[in-house]
Structure 1
């Protein structure tokens, strides 16, 4: 596993299990170079390895969600954990097993972001930035909450939650290094076109 911190920037596409390889290819073609495999109960080592191999060939990063064993077995570039995971796991042991690989932790305020960095996080997720259908019962922090996390965090921040082509530029202006998207790409009829519009908007070309 490799730590590639300087490349923790730009559009960050979160892939579910179904159709993950096809969506990965479409997003790579659109210029995306940062991905997370969030297969949940459906996640398989075969798919994780295939995603990692394709990302490695394309110079992209593949981070696995929630499953340290899967991330290690697949040779992923890193692992992302939720705030509740950080509270129940031995994070020193997680960091030790990951070595120099990327570790992302979800946060909801500046204090959590500072604690995440102290636990060895390479970046923090900040959200829910806008209303979203991807997760129920989440607190919306808005752009102001995102700015506070950016100001407090010693490590790069990935905004997540309700991000789309209309608001992704505002997320970047708020100081986020990354914009994590799920539905804006995963629910699109044309994955490549949706990803390309997001990349262009992030880069100020929309």
Structure 2
């Protein structure tokens, strides 16, 4: 990603170089649409296939980086949290941080019901998530409670997808929220969730969403979808390994979970990007021998983390 982006940014910047007059740092004028670095970087990101909000986010960061350094460097893709307006690192040290979780969550199994949660917890999977879908509130409440009971006596860390109030009531380890769920919370509800002691994981699909999630200092970030997946309709294209490397570099103060289309063959590549956890769905629930698949995936992770 970085080299291609650098080539494009350099070429685009040349078209706007008249305003530099040999003094790049002097060309800054806030986030004006005429600012050469901001404009060039935004065009470069768009050509690279970034969605509009991510192009805007990176362009602002690249301009901030140039102002901080005093010159434009097309070879230096923004990777400093300060340039993205992120909070202080490590996030766990912030006053508004959610309770911490292990920096390496290991194999992270996303599972459809409490029975599956129990199977994978007993198989030794270190992190499990209940993603139970139903229109029946009573059924959801029963499944959340059953999942908490299913991991009892094991070392598995249980996250509940979406249903944070039920997760608090049942005594789960944590909750996982998507961007829309996070945006729907009021400040008072965020504080209630933080005060409950639950760990919070947040889904992100690019730079802008990582910045949004960082504002509440969650316990971990999920990055994806890395590869194509048919399990759910995604609003963004697969992020790919190059972007995953960039995201992990920027957000390295967080426990990071790569998710989306990862199987046995792709696992080492995703792990090498700098994340401490790999989330899987079909690689386990679609396997002929789910427990055997889980053991094989965990062994592969151990090899990759040495």
Fold match by TM threshold 0.5: yes
Aligned partner of 1:136 in structure 2 is 233
Partners of 2:103 and 2:250 lie apart in 1 by: 21
Give the structure 2 partner of residue 39 of structure 1: 132
Q: Which residue of 1 aligns with 2:268?
A: 169
1:191-202 matches, within 5 Å, as 191-202=290-301
Q: State the partner residue of 1:147.
A: 245
Q: Structure 2 CA distance, aligned partners of 1:137 and 1:126?
A: 13
Q: Deviations over 1:89-119 (max 9, x none)?
A: 2255224334232101111123422331221
Q: Give secondary structure in 2 for the equivalent of 1:57.
A: coil
Tell me the distance in 1 between the aligned counterparts of 2:143 and 2:256. 27
Partner of residue 258, structure 2: 159
Q: Deviations over 1:126-148 (max 9, x none)?
A: 11100111112342001112112
The answer to whether the 8 Å contact 1:184/1:194 transfers is yes
Secondary structure in 1 aligned to 2:153? helix
Q: Which runs of 5+ in 1 are unaligned?
A: none
Instruction: Quote the RMSD (CA, aligned, Å).
Output: 2.2
CA contact (8 A) 1:8 1:34 kept: no
Q: State the distance in 1 between where 2:220 and 2:211 align.
A: 11
1:139-185 deviation per Cα after TM superposition (whole angstroms, max 9, x unaligned): 20011121122122231111110011111111111011111111111
Name the TM-score, length of structure 2 as normaliser.
0.60
Cα 1:8–1:72 change in 2 (3 A) is farther
Report Cα offsets for 1:68-105 as digits up to 9, x if no partner.
12211221111111112222322552243342321011
Aligned to 1:204, the other structure's residue is in SS state helix
Alignment check: 8 A CA contact 2:162 2:175 kept: yes
- Contact kept in structure 2, 1:72 and 1:98, CA below 8 Å: no
Matches within 5 A, 1:1-206: 3=99, 5-6=101-102, 8-17=104-113, 20-21=114-115, 23-41=116-134, 44-90=140-186, 93-99=189-195, 100-138=197-235, 139-153=237-251, 154-204=253-303
For 2:171 and 2:118, the matched residues in 1 are separated by 19
Q: Contact 2:102/2:255 (CA < 8 Å) preserved in 1?
A: no
Higher strand share: 1
Distance 1:133 1:145 in 2: 20
Gaps of 5+ in 2: 1-97
**Which gives a bigger RCO, structure 1 or 2 (Cα 8 Å, sep 6+)?**
1
Q: CA deviation at 1:16?
A: 0.5
CA distance in 1, matches of 2:296, 2:219: 27
Aligned residues: 201
Compare 179-188 and 86-95 and name the one that shifted more: 86-95
Whose Rg is larger? 2
Structure-2 separation of matches of 1:25 and 1:13:
11
